[in-house]
Amino acid sequence: MTAIWAHRGSRLRAPENTMPAFELAVAEGADGIELDVHLTADGRLVVCHDPTVTLLDGSTALIRDLTFDAVRGVDLGNETSGAVGIPELHDVFELLAPTSLVLNIEVKNGPILYAGIEEAVIAAHRASGMAERIVYSSFNHLTLVALREREPSAAIAPLYEEALVDPWAYVLHMGANAAHPYYPTLGLPGMIEGFAAAGVAVRAWTVNDEADMRALIGAGIDAIVTDDPTAALKVRAEFD
């Protein structure tokens, strides 16, 4: 059965990458949550998509140049949600550890680079209380290899947007557990079949059109990452 992972939480119904969005994804029945992490100047892992944030005075700053307290003070809320702050990765672990959900952590490390982010991620991994349900992805594949070198049990999956030749071979070569491709690349001839033949799990992002959901779930891929987990769960129910 294709798993449904909520992209940055249930981001159509709450500010993305915030605790309300993650709490909604759990309540809606998602099988997993995808989020993004950056490293603050004082070595804390925070959940945010972009490398910059807008401060209270209207200026922008890089997360890597700010302390955790400064990042924590940023308000991501809107008129509906009210004030909502940027969570620390530890906050998400506390939410998900008692559940069965998978947590897909996209490690941001480029073009803005974070010295020491691999060490910080692995330290958090070991203290998470849910290490066996964490998958690390990144567009920086060297970062994924570095994570695996530091923690051989860590599950890693390269993200990619453009089509690759025999991507399953690349995934196996780098010692990864799965591929996380941009979903249109799976429409090329032989792609889904190639992953299946190689025994490589494939989880596609970001799938929001119900026809695309239906096609990928029907093809039996391992997971889809979506902004609308409720819609995806309804589509998946058609296959029960």
Buried b (16+ CB within 10 A) or exposed e, 193-230: ebbbeeebbbbbbbbbeeebbbbbbebebbbbbbbbbb
Q: How far apart are CA 183 and CA 187, in angstroms?
A: 8
> Is 7 noted as a catalytic residue in this protein?
yes
CB 93 within 8 A of CB 128: yes
Buried b (16+ CB within 10 A) or exposed e, 78-117: eeeeeebbbbbbebbbebbeeeebbbbbbbbbeeeebeeb
> Is 49 noted as a catalytic residue in this protein?
yes
Question: What does DSSP say about strands 102-107 and 45-47: parallel, antiparallel, or unpaired?
Answer: unpaired
At 149 the three-state DSSP class reads helix
* Closest-CA residue to 193 (of 210, 211, 168, 212): 168
Q: DSSP E strands: which ranges in the chain? A: 3-7, 32-39, 45-47, 52-54, 60-62, 102-107, 134-138, 155-160, 178-181, 201-204, 223-226
> Active-site residues: which are they?
7, 49
